[in-house]
A and B are shown apart, each in its own frame.
Chain A
C-alpha cells in the first residue's frame, strides 16, 4: 500500500457566519432602492429595444436592402442596437432613480451644501466584477460578431480577388469606376469597353468594381447596396457586390472632393438580364459573354 492510497482525512470546514448566497440575493431584493432600480431597468430595456426596428425603418426608406451585403449590415446594426439596450437601460435607470427616487434618491435643493450625506460606498467588489464581466462579454460578442460579419461580406464582395480567379458559378461583370471632379464614369471592359455615366447592371449577377480617381480622393458609395470604397488617385481599389433587387438606387460620393462634391451623384439601375443585354446593344456594346 503506497502513501497515495492512504484514505484522506476529511478536514472539518471552518465554521462561517456568512449567509447563503440565495439569502443574500433575497435580502438585496428586499431593499427598496434595488427593487426600484430593477423596475426602471426593465422598463427602459423594453422601451429602448424597439429603436432597433426604428433604425432599420430609416435605412430602408429608399429601397434598401438591395443586396446580401446590405442585409448583413442591417442585421448587424439591428443586433448591436438590441444588445446595447440593456446596458443603456442600466445607465438610464441609475440616472433616473438618482433624480426621482424617493427613498435613496431624492433631490436636495438650496444654496448651502446639503448637511445630509449619502452612504459612503467606496467600492463594491461584486459590482465591479459584474460590470467588468458584462462589458467585456458584450465587447467580446461585438468583436466576434464583427469579425465574422466582416469575413462574410469580404467574401461576398470578393475581397481583392481578381475577376478571373473567382470561383463563383456566375462570372462577375467587371466594371471600371473612375471618379473625376465631379462625375462618375463607368466602363464595362467585358462589353467592348462600353462607357456610361449611370450604372446599369443585371440582377443577381456578381459585379466587380475596379475603382480609381483621376484627381482627388472620392468615395464610391452605392447606398442601397451597402458598398463603399474610396477612389484614390494613383491606386485601384476593389469591391464587389451582387444586387438582388430590381430598381433604381443611388450612387453618391462620400468623400469631400471639392466644389461640386454635393452634386457628384448618379443612379444605379438594377434590371433583368434581358433588359441589360438590350441596354448593352443599344449603347453599342457586345452581348454579355
Chain B
C-alpha cells in the first residue's frame, strides 16, 4: 500500500458537517433588495434616533455643526452595515460561531447553482458571477462619471456664462474624478480579474470565494454614500480633497470619506484574493514561465493596490477624525500639516495610476498575440517591465508635490525616480512593438484597440516626461496640461484598453458575440473625439489655463470650445458602444467556445462556462503563445552561418 492511497482513504473518513435546514440556509432569503431595504431602514432609524441625541449647536473650528456631522457619519455607517447584513454577508461568520459549518450543498447553493439569472442579484461566490457583477457596476460608474464629464464640459464650453453655481461645479469635478478613478481601478481587475483570471490559470474558482463576494458587495455599499454627496452640499475640492479646504466642505465630504474607507477594504480583500489565487491555484504544469502575461499584470496591480491603498484609507480616516473629533492632523492652526495629507494621499495616488494602466496593458499584450498569430515578443522583458513598474511606482509620489514648497530639494531624487520608471515601462512598450513587428493583424475590434492605445500611450508618456521634470512642472503643474496628460494615460491608455479587453473576452463572459460593426463605430468615434478633446486641452494648458476653473480668460475660448465639442462626441461614441454591448448581450449571435482560435485555457472550456469551469482540470505543457510559423529569414541566416562563405545578396 502506498502512502497516497492511505491518505485518500483517511480523507474519505473525515466527518462531513451536518446539513442544517435547506442548502444555503439564511442566504436563501437574502438578495440585493433585502440588502438595500435593510440598509435604508437601519440608516433612517439611526438618523431618527441620532437627531434626538446629538447636541446640534456645537460648532468645530470651521463653523460646522459637529453633532450633525457625527450624525451623518453614523447614518452612512449604518447604511453600510445594514446593507451588508441584509445581503447576508454576516451569515458565514455567524454560522461559524454557531458551529454550523458549510456543507458541500451549502457551498454549491452559495455559488449560485440552479438559481438562474437571479444569482446575479445575490451574495454569490462563483467567480464568474462576481465578474459579471463587477462589469455591470463598472458600466454604471462610467455612465455616472461620463454624465458628469458632459456637464463639466458644458460649463467650460459655455464661456460667456456660469451654467452651474461655483460650488456645485467644484463638487461635480470632484465627484467625476473619484467616480472615474474607482471605475478605472476596478474595470480590468474586477470583471476580468475575477471572471477570466481563474479560468486562465485553470482553476475551479478563486482562492477565497466568499471574500470575493464580500469585496464586490462592499464596493456596492461604498458607492451610494459617495454619490449622495451631490445632495448634501458636495465635495467642493476636486478628487484629491486637499485639507484644509476639505474641512470647509459641507457634510457631503463625509460620504466621500466613508466611501474611500469602505472601498479600501474592498480593494484590499479583492487584492489578497487575486494574489492568492494566482500563486496557489494554477493548473498543473503552469510554472511561472508559462503563466499568461495577463495574470502577471493583474498580480502586479493587486500587489500595488494591497500595499498602497491603506495610505489613502488612513488619510481619509484622519481627515474624518479632524472633522468630527477636532483632532489636528491636517489643521495648521493647531499644529497639523497640510503636507502630511498630501503625502499620504499621493502615496496611493501615484501607484494608483499604475494600478489602472498595468492590467489594461497586460490584457492588450495578451490579446495581441492572438490577433497577430505571433508569440509574445520577449516574455521575460514583459515580466521585468511589470516587476520594475510595480517596484519603482512606490518611490515616485513626491512628483505630485514639486510645487507645494514642501522640501524643494526632494525634487532632485524624485525627478530621478520618476524618469527612471519610464525604462521598465519602456520594456512593456518594447514587448508590444516587438509582438507587432512583422505581424499581419487580424483587424477585429480588440486588435484595433491595441493601435489606439499605443498611440495614446505615446502621447501620454511623452507629456508625462515633461511633467516629471521639475522646471517644466513649475509651469505645467495645476494647469489644464496636467488634466490632458492624465486623461491620455487613464482614459486613453486605460479605458480604451479596457474596451479592447472587454470586446475580446465578451464572447466568453456573455456567451454571445459582440456586434463589432456597431461597437467599432462607437469605438472610433470616441477615439477621434478623444484626440480632439484632449489635444485642445493640451493647448489650453500650454497657454496657461489653470485646472478646476469654471471661468477663464478669453484667450482659452477656442481650445475649450473644441474640447467641449470633442467631449460630446466621446459621449456619443461611448453610448454607441454601450448600445452594441447591451444589444449583443441580449440577443447577439451565440458564441463558439473559442472564436479567436486562442491558446490560453479560458478558451478551451465550453461557452457558457460550466459552474466548475473545467470538467477535468487541465495540465499545462507549454506557454500559451505557440503561434506562428518559422521565420523564413531565419533560414537565410542559418544558411549564411552554415556556408563556408557568406551567401550572396538577394536574401529572399
Chain A contact residues, CB within 8 Å of chain B: 17-20, 23, 26-27, 30-33, 55, 58-59, 61-62, 64, 69-70, 72-73, 76-77, 80-81, 84, 87-88, 90-92, 94-95, 98-99, 104-110, 112-114, 116-124, 127-128, 131-132, 135-136, 139, 142-143, 145-147, 149-150, 153-154, 159-160, 211, 215-217, 219, 221, 223-224, 226-230, 232-235, 237-238, 250, 252-263
A104, B451: Cβ atoms closer than 8 Å: no
Contacts of A128 in B (CB 8 A): 378, 381, 430
Find residues 635-649 in chain B having any chain A CB closer than 8 Å to their own CB.
636, 640-644, 646, 649
> Taking A119-B374, A121-B374, A146-B470 as contacts, is the C-beta distance between A232 and B404 under 8 angstroms?
yes
Q: Choose one: B338, B405, B631; the contact of A120 (CB below 8 Å).
A: B631
Query: B440–A150 contact, CB under 8 A?
Result: no
Residues on the A chain within 8 Å of B415, using CB: 143, 146-147, 150
The answer to whether the Cβ of B555 comes within 8 Å of any Cβ in the partner chain is yes
Report whether B651 and A258 are in contact in the complex, using a CB–CB cutoff of 8 Å.
no
Once the chains bind, are A27 and B628 in contact (CB under 8 Å)? no
- From B420, B475, B633, residue with most partner A Cβ within 10 Å: B475
B408-440 at interface with A (beta carbon < 8 Å): 408, 411-412, 415-416, 419-420, 422-423, 426-427, 429-430, 433-434, 436-440
Neighbour of B440 across the interface among A76, A91, A104, A120, CB < 8 A: A104
Inter-subunit contact A234/B375 (CB<8 Å): no
Q: Is B617 an interface residue (CB 8 A)?
A: no
In the complex, A132→B651 CA distance in Å?
28
- Bound complex: CA of A119 vs CA of B549, how far in Å? 52
Question: In chain B, residues 364-382, which have Cβ atoms closer than 8 Å to a Cβ of chain A?
Answer: 370, 372-381
Which B residues touch A237, using CB under 8 A?
A: 404-405
Quick check: B442 and A114 within 8 Å, CB to CB?
Answer: yes
Is the Cβ of B405 less than 8 Å from the Cβ of A147?
no
Interface residues of B in 149-201 (CB under 8 A from A): 166-167, 170
Contact assessment for B440 and A228 in the assembled complex, using a CB-CB cutoff below 8 Å: no
Chain A residues whose C-beta falls within 8 Å of the C-beta of B468 in the assembled complex: 146
B residues in contact with A211, CB < 8 Å: 405
Give the shortest distance, in Å, between B171 (CB) and chain A (any CB): 11
Docked-complex contact B628 and A121, CB < 8 angstroms: yes
Give the most central of A23, A77, A81: most B CB within 10 Å. Answer: A77
A70 CB to nearest chain B CB (Å): 7
Which partner residue on chain B sits nearest A151 by CB separation? B412
Pairwise interchain contact A73-B475, C-beta atoms closer than 8 A: yes
Q: Is the beta-carbon distance between B375 and A108 smaller than 8 angstroms?
A: no
Known pairs A27-B640, A105-B439, A117-B373. 8 more at Cβ < 8 A?
A98-B438, A104-B439, A113-B373, A119-B633, A127-B430, A250-B544, A254-B546, A263-B551
19 A-B pairs, CB-CB below 8 angstroms? A19-B641, A58-B543, A69-B471, A80-B469, A88-B458, A94-B437, A95-B454, A98-B438, A113-B370, A117-B629, A119-B628, A132-B427, A153-B474, A215-B244, A228-B403, A238-B405, A254-B477, A259-B167, A261-B549
Chain B residues within 8 Å of A62, by CB = 543-544, 555
CA distance A46 to B404 in the complex (A): 38
Residue from A95, A104, A262 in contact with B549 in the complex, judged by beta carbons closer than 8 Å: A262
CB distance from A243 to the nearest CB of B (A): 15
The yes or no answer to B55 lying at the interface (CB within 8 A) is: no
Decide if B166 touches A122 in the complex (CB within 8 Å).
Answer: no
Q: How far, in angstroms, from A238 to B404 measured CA to CA in the complex?
A: 11
Contact of A221 among B373, B478, B543 (CB under 8 A): B478
Residues from chain B with a CB closer than 8 A to the CB of A150 are: 411-412, 415, 469-471
Q: How far is the CA of A113 from the CA of B642 in the complex (A)?
A: 36
**Beyond A146-B415, A150-B412, is A219–B478 a contact (Cβ under 8 Å)?**
yes
Q: How far, in angstroms, from A61 to B545 measured CA to CA in the complex?
A: 12
CB pair A234–B641 under 8 Å, yes or no, is no
Evaluate whether A108 and B441 lie within 8 angstroms (CB atoms) in the complex, with A27-B651, A252-B544 already known.
yes
* In-complex Cβ contact of B374 among A30, A58, A77, A120 (8 A): A120
Whether the pair A55, B542 counts as a contact (CB closer than 8 A) is yes
Q: Is A118 within 8 A of B627, CB to CB? A: yes
> Within the complex, which residue of B451, B471, B479, B634 is in contact with A153, where a contact is CB–CB below 8 Å?
B471
B129-164: contact bitstring with A at CB < 8 Å (1 yes, 0 no)?
000000000000000000000000000000000000
B632 — nearest CB in chain A belongs to which residue?
A119
Question: Which chain B residues border A27 with CB–CB below 8 Å?
Answer: 636, 640, 649, 651
Contact B472 A77 (CB under 8 A): yes
Evaluate contact between B422 and A26: CB separation under 8 angstroms: no
Known: A88-B458, A91-B458, A135-B422. Is A223-B544 also a contact (CB below 8 A)?
Answer: yes
Q: Is the CB of A143 within 8 A of B420?
A: yes
Cβ-defined contact, A119 with B630, below 8 A? yes
B621 at interface, CB cutoff 8 A: no
Q: In the complex, A235→B465 CA distance in Å? A: 30
Q: Which residue of A lies closest to B513 (CB)?
A: A111
CB distance from B488 to the nearest CB of A (A): 13
Question: B336 contacts which chain A residues (CB < 8 A)?
Answer: 234
Q: B350 interface residue, CB < 8 Å from A? A: no
CA distance A146 to B551 in the complex (A): 34
A104 CA / B372 CA spacing, docked (Å): 12
Determine if B248 and A114 form an interchain contact, defined as CB atoms under 8 angstroms apart. no
Q: How far is the CA of A256 from the CA of B475 in the complex (A)?
A: 16
Closest to A98 in B: B436
| A159-B408, A262-B549 given; A233·B244 CB < 8 A | yes
Closest Cβ neighbor of B437 among chain A residues: A94
A20–B647 CA distance with the chains assembled, in angstroms: 12
Docked-complex contact A113 and B374, CB < 8 angstroms: no
Contact indicator B471/A146 (Cβ below 8 Å)? yes
In the assembly, what is the distance between CA of A230 and CA of B596, in Å?
53
User: Could you say which residues of chain B place their CB within 8 Å of the CB of A235?
Assistant: 332, 338, 405
Contact of B426 among A70, A135, A149 (CB under 8 A): A135
**Interface 1/0 per residue, B372-411 and A, CB below 8 Å:** 1111111111000000000000000000000111001001
Query: In the complex the two chains form, what is the Cα distance from A132 to B633 in whole Å?
Result: 24
Inter-chain CA distance A62–B651, complex, in Å, is 58
Given A106, A108, A254, which contacts B478 in the complex, CB threshold below 8 Å? Answer: A254
Q: Please give, as numbers and ranges, the residues of chain A lying within 8 Å of B120 by CB-CB distance.
A: none
Known contacts A117-B629, A119-B632, A150-B411: does B474 contact A73 (CB below 8 Å)?
yes
User: Are the CB atoms of A143 and B244 closer together than 8 Å?
Assistant: no
Residues of A with C-beta under 8 A to B48 = none
* Residue from the set B167, B439, B643, B646 with the largest chain A CB neighbour count within 10 Å: B439
Q: Is there contact, CB below 8 Å, between A20 and B646? A: yes
Known contacts A88-B462, A135-B423; is-contact A119 B438 (Cβ 8 Å): yes
Quick check: A61 and B640 within 8 Å, CB to CB? Answer: no
Of A59, A69, A237, the most chain B CB neighbours within 10 A belong to: A59
B550, CB-defined interface residue at 8 Å: yes
Instruction: Pick the residue among A119, A232, A253, A259 that contacts B405 (CB under 8 A).
Output: A232
Report the nearest B residue to A156, measured CB to CB: B471
Task: Tell whether B650 is near chain A: CB-to-CB under 8 Å.
Answer: yes
A118 to B539, CA, bound (A): 41
- Shortest CB distance A239–B (Å): 8
| CB <8 Å contact, A91 and B474 | no
A118 contacts B628, C-beta separation under 8 Å:
yes
Whether B242 sits at the interface, judged by CB under 8 Å, is: yes
- Residue from the list A61, A72, A149, A229 in contact with B555, Cβ < 8 A: A61
A99 touches B441 (CB 8 A): yes
Nearest CB on B from A28, distance (A): 9
Give the distance in Å from the alpha carbon of A262 to the alpha carbon of B152 in the complex: 14
Given the contacts A23-B646, A149-B469, A215-B244, A221 and B433 also touching, CB distance less than 8 Å: no
Q: Considering the chains assembled together, what is the distance between the CA atoms of A162 and B265 in angstroms? A: 47
Do A114 and B440 touch across chains, with their CB atoms under 8 A apart? Answer: yes
Inter-chain contacts of A94 with B (CB < 8 A)? 433, 436-437
